[in-house]
Amino acid sequence: MNALLDDLCWRGLIAHSTDLEALGAHLDEGPVKFYVGFDPTAPSLHMGNLVQLLFARRLQQAGHKPHLLVGGATGQIGDPKETGERVMNSREVVAGWVERIRAQAERFVSFEGDNAAVMVNNLDWTAGMSVLDFLRDVGKHFPVNRMLARDVVARRLESGISYTEFSYVLLQSMDYRELYRRHGVTLQHGGSDQWGNITAGVELLRRSDQVRAHALATPLLTKADGTKFGKTESGTVWLDRELTSPYAFHQFFLNAEDAKVVDYLKVFSFRSREEIEALEKATENEPHKRLAQKALADDVTDIVHGSGERQAVVAAAAALFGRGELSCLSEETLRGIMRELKAPEVTLPMPLVDAFLVSGIVESKAAAKRAILEGGAYLNNEKVTDPEFSLTETDLLGGCCAIVRRGRRTVGGVQVGTGR
């Protein structure tokens, strides 16, 4: 098998393919132009999109040329959901999200060299297309019975699906054809949930241009219990630092389950097979050291937020548990910690026992007083021995929050004036 495909298979990154043997031969012939698309249905990319961006980086590092498509047209409609009709965002909102997502996606591939990446927007070839031209040139190649057989459509038929969402597959298929005609693109990749749309594009090229195109789909990443990876109790893990702070981002990966951490390393890290296999053995033999989790969290945070930010959040985590200086942390990092700790907003002055209670690190004021009297209570890593102590503005870190801790491991926080 082609060396690149062999590595992708080992990493568990290929769930579906049109024809791996034929694709391997195509890749061996020389640099291949490929694409992956992102619809602006939110103001930021998320963990599922990161899988595709890093997949594109791997292909580019192997010598192939990426085309990143941001769906200024398809984002105005949205791929059909299994749960019901999407709310359509305004053209102005979608246009704003296009620019935000374009800026995010650009960070993950190189725009220099012989195989420099190309950024495209499918609004460029749909905005001026008439309905008649669309129906004659694209719609005629799509048998309705085949469209009705698509899983998501079949599931939505009973509850109802609009013609708009039903027709989404035609728009995405046209993207592949346009990128082939304009740029010579012959490979598309995406998530396994997009496989129906992806193969429809392959079929459109076969029918309309008599071209054999290729496609790959990555698997849906899940946790050990089968639930979707990239979701937390508080919501989606985003790549935008304003929506998911670098601290929370690093903590998310640091908390990966032993049973799945090696799978995630293969997908999100660019470590070699030997390094990952060594971390796999370490997880089996010394799981308490969490070496694989630390490597995963550091690697992904470096990729998304930069090594400087990763060093800052690692230092913040150490300081949080008394192994570093809290006063050195920036207000942004502190706010990220507060969000991760679900710290409540409070009004000062406030008795410290109340701060312990509302932060959730004790069950009662009596338990807070007992912790103080027994020498196990800390405010901003400083031991507090007075059960009548009150928290005031002079005790705030960065003028915004305070860290409270019971013992070595039970940590909480309170904050003031977040405005959020």
Residue set of the binding site for ATP: 231
Residues annotated within a binding site: 35, 168, 172, 231
Residues making up the binding site for L-tyrosine:
35, 168, 172
Which amino acid does the sequence have at 304? Answer: V
Burial class (CB in 10 A: 0-12, 13-18, 19+), 187: buried
Helix locations, 157-216, DSSP H: 163-166, 168-183, 195-209
Backbone angles phi, psi at 190, to 5 degrees: -175, -175
CB 139 within 8 A of CB 170: yes
Phi, psi at residue 76, to the nearest 5°? Answer: -80, -10
Which DSSP symbol is given to 228? B
Q: Are 214 and 192 in contact, with CB atoms under 8 Å apart? A: no
Distance CA 69, CA 122 (A): 7
Residue 336: partners with Cβ closer than 8 Å, 6 or more residues away: 245, 246, 247, 248, 313, 316
C-alpha to C-alpha distance for 92 and 89, rounded to whole angstroms: 8
Q: Of 128, 223, 225, 216, nearest to 178 (Cα)?
A: 128
The residues, any chain, with a CB within 8 Å of residue 50's CB and separated by 6 or more, are 108, 239, 268, 300, 304
Residue pointed to by tokens 């496609």: 215
